[in-house]
Amino acid sequence: MKTVSQTKAHGGIQGVYSHPSAVTNCEMTFAVFVPPLAEGAKAPVLWYLSGLTCTHQNVMDKGEYRRLAAELGLIIVCPDTSPRGDDVADEPDNWQFGKGAGFYVDATEAPYSQHYRMYSYILDELSGLIATEFPAADMNRQGIFGHSMGGHGALVMALRNPDRFKSCSAFAPIVQPSTADWSKGAFEKYLGAESSAWRDYDATRLIENGHRFAEFLVDQGDADGFLENGLRPWLLEEACNAANIPLKLRMQPGYDHSYFFISTFMDDHLRWHRARL
């Protein structure tokens, strides 16, 4: 692991790091905020997954999480959204696919299966790296949240790994990507034409298949331009109601899909996770 940068913030350290990944077969970059802690103390780990077109940098610059994370004693890990590099297959003119749009799946279709394995990268490789390189990280207390495509990723990872993640929330998640206008095309390219294979990366379908999680918090702006065709939080609400999964869905009047929305409710989500970790 290489240290790209380290900066003091609110008594803690905001770092950016890189490493060669054996899972995505390229160099990966990620960010970690470690709050001020007593020597030898450990802190819960909260993963933040970013949305389409983003990297680890977006939430670092605009998410406004460090002040309260320092106060609450939360380690915040921000992975990238996809593999990077000249050798990574991409569609430069398609913002809904390729670099910046890994959708947190393990691709099975060539040529994408060589690099686009963000699900295993985060759950296995990066998680192991955090455990090894950050001794303050209490890997027995992990939560996960994210925005849009990252909200989709957080819901899926929580539902498929309820023993690892103790809390899960999302900002404007893509709750049923297998049918959403801006994700089903990517699913077909990454996972093949047989849509039954897509269910493993679709929160509503996972719930239908019997996967469960203790509870979810979701914030959604009602002025979000992607609400009707991309996000559709009512589908998650229907699935959770049918499965008796507690869901706190808050429709926020006047808010859109931007980081102005995310930063407004970031404190609520950090407190939600801290109470459960």
pLDDT number for residue 181: 87
pLDDT number for residue 161: 98
Please state, for a pLDDT cut of 90, what percent of the chain lies above it: 97
Q: Band the pLDDT of 153: cuts 50, 70, 90.
A: very high
First to last CA, the chain: 27
Query: Is 224 a known active-site residue?
Result: yes
Contacts of 130 (CB under 8 A, 6+ apart): 32, 45, 77, 137, 139
The count of structural domains within the chain is 1
Q: For residues 109 and 131, give the distance between their C-alpha atoms in angstroms, rounded to a whole number.
A: 31
pTM, to two decimals: 0.97
Which pLDDT tens digit goes with each residue over 32-45? 999 999 999 999 99
Contact 174, 148 (CB under 8 A): yes
Please state whether the peptide bond connecting residue 111 to the residue before it is cis, i.e. omega within 30 degrees of 0: yes
Q: Supply the range of the domain harboring residue 191.
A: 2-276
Query: Is 56 a known active-site residue?
Result: no
Q: For residues 173 and 146, give the distance between their C-alpha atoms in angstroms, rounded to a whole number.
A: 8
Task: Kindly provide the residue ranges of all beta strands, DSSP E only, lying in the chain, ordered along the sequence.
Answer: 2-9, 12-21, 26-34, 43-49, 75-78, 137-147, 165-171, 216-221, 247-252
Contacts of 77 (CB under 8 A, 6+ apart): 30, 31, 32, 45, 46, 47, 48, 126, 130
Q: Which of 152, 224, 269, 273 is catalytic?
A: 224
Q: Which of 148, 167, 169, 178 is catalytic?
A: 148
Q: What is the mean predicted confidence (pLDDT) over 8-17? A: 98
The CATH code of the domain that includes 189 is 3.40.50.1820
Q: Which of 152, 211, 257, 273 is catalytic?
A: 257
Contact 218, 248 (CB under 8 A): yes
Tokens for 119, please give them. 């699900």
Query: Is 148 a known active-site residue?
Result: yes
Residue 7: CB atoms within 10 Å: 12
pLDDT number for residue 182: 84
- DSSP3 helix / strand / coil % (the chain, rounded to 5): 35, 25, 40
Q: What is the mean predicted confidence (pLDDT) over 65-88? A: 97
Contacts of 149 (CB under 8 A, 6+ apart): 49, 50, 51, 52, 81, 101, 103, 104, 174, 183
148: left (phi over 0), alpha (psi -120 to 50) or beta: left
Mean pLDDT of the chain: 97
Residue 116: CB atoms within 10 Å: 31
DSSP 144: E
